[in-house]
Amino acid sequence: MLSEPPKRLTIYDLARLADTSPSTVSAVLNGSWQRRRISQKLADKILSLAKAEGYSANLQARALRRERSGIIGMILPLYDNRYFSSIAQHFEAQARQRGLFATVACTNRNPEQEREAARMMLAYRVECLVSTGATDPDTISEMCDERGATSIHMDLPGYKAPSVISDNREGARRLTDAILDRLAGQDTSENDILFIGGRREDHNTRERIAGFTQARTQRGLATSKADIITCDYAANRTQNALEAYMYQRTRLPSAMFVNSTISLEGVVRWLQLGGYQLDDMVMGCFDWDPLAAAFHPSLLMVRQDVEVMIERVFEIIDAPTVETNRCIEVSPEIIGV
Partner DNA sequence: GCACTTTGCACAACCGATTGTGCAGTCGAA
Partner DNA sequence: TTCGACTGCACAATCGGTTGTGCAAAGTGC
3-state secondary structure of 188: coil
The single residue among 21, 48, 64, 219 that binds its own copies, judged by CB under 8 A, is 64
What strand order describes the sheet that includes 333-335?
228-229, 193-196, 255-258, 282-285, 300-303, 333-335
Question: 199 near 206, Cβ under 8 Å?
Answer: no
What is the secondary structure of 244-268 as a DSSP string? HHHHT-SS--SEEEE-SHHHHHHHH
By the 10 Å C-beta count (0-12 exposed, 13-18 middle, 19+ buried), 85 is classed as middle
* Binding-site partner at residue 39 among its own copies, DNA, none, CB < 5 to 8 Å by type: DNA
Q: Report which secondary-structure segment, H or E, holds 128.
A: strand 128-132
Question: Minimum Å distance from CB 223 to its own copies?
Answer: 27
What is each CA distance from 306 to 135, 288, 302, 311, 323, in whole angstroms? 20, 11, 12, 8, 23
Question: Minimum Å distance from CB 127 to its own copies?
Answer: 7
Q: Which amino acid, one-letter code, is at 317? A: I
**62 binds DNA per the rule CB under 7 A:** yes
Minimum CB distance to its own copies smaller for 117 or for 209: 117
Minimum CB distance to DNA smaller for 34 or for 186: 34
- Give the residue among 183, 129, 138, 181 at the shortest CA–CA distance from 157: 138
Q: Which amino acid, one-letter code, is at 207? A: E
| Residues 273-312: x where in contact with its own copies by CB under 8 A, - otherwise, as a string | -----x----------xxxx-xxxx---------------
Question: Minimum Å distance from CB 101 to DNA?
Answer: 14
Torsion sign, CA atoms 298, 237, 225, 209: negative
- Give the residue among 22, 309, 299, 62 at the shortest CA–CA distance from 163: 309
**214 binds DNA per the rule CB under 7 A:** no
- Residue 39 CA to residue 37 CA, distance in Å, equals 6
Q: Which of residues 155-194 bind its own copies (CB under 8 A)?
A: none
The single residue among 44, 48, 53, 66 that binds DNA, judged by CB under 7 A, is 66
**61 binds DNA per the rule CB under 7 A:** yes
The single residue among 36, 119, 219, 326 that binds its own copies, judged by CB under 8 A, is 119
The single residue among 178, 180, 264, 306 that binds its own copies, judged by CB under 8 A, is 264
The single residue among 14, 46, 102, 228 that binds its own copies, judged by CB under 8 A, is 102
* Binding-site partner at residue 11 among its own copies, DNA, none, CB < 5 to 8 Å by type: DNA
- Give the residue among 264, 285, 330 at the shortest CA–CA distance from 178: 285
- Give the residue among 332, 328, 331, 333 at the shortest CA–CA distance from 157: 328
**29 binds DNA per the rule CB under 7 A:** yes
Minimum CB distance to DNA smaller for 32 or for 218: 32
Q: Which amino acid, one-letter code, is at 320? A: P
Question: 63 near 279, Cβ under 8 Å?
Answer: no
Which part of the chain contacts its own copies (CB under 8 A), choosing from 29-37, 44-52, 61-69, 193-201?
A: 61-69
Minimum CB distance to DNA smaller for 5 or for 185: 5
Minimum CB distance to DNA smaller for 23 or for 188: 23
Residue ranges binding DNA (CB under 7 A): 7-12, 19-24, 26-27, 29-30, 32, 36-39, 41-42, 57-58, 61-62, 64-67
Residue ranges binding its own copies (CB under 8 A): 1-6, 8, 54, 56-61, 63-64, 67, 69, 71, 78-80, 82, 84-86, 88-89, 92, 96, 101-106, 116, 119-120, 122-125, 127-128, 146-148, 150, 235, 261, 264-266, 268-269, 272, 278, 289-292, 294-297, 320, 322
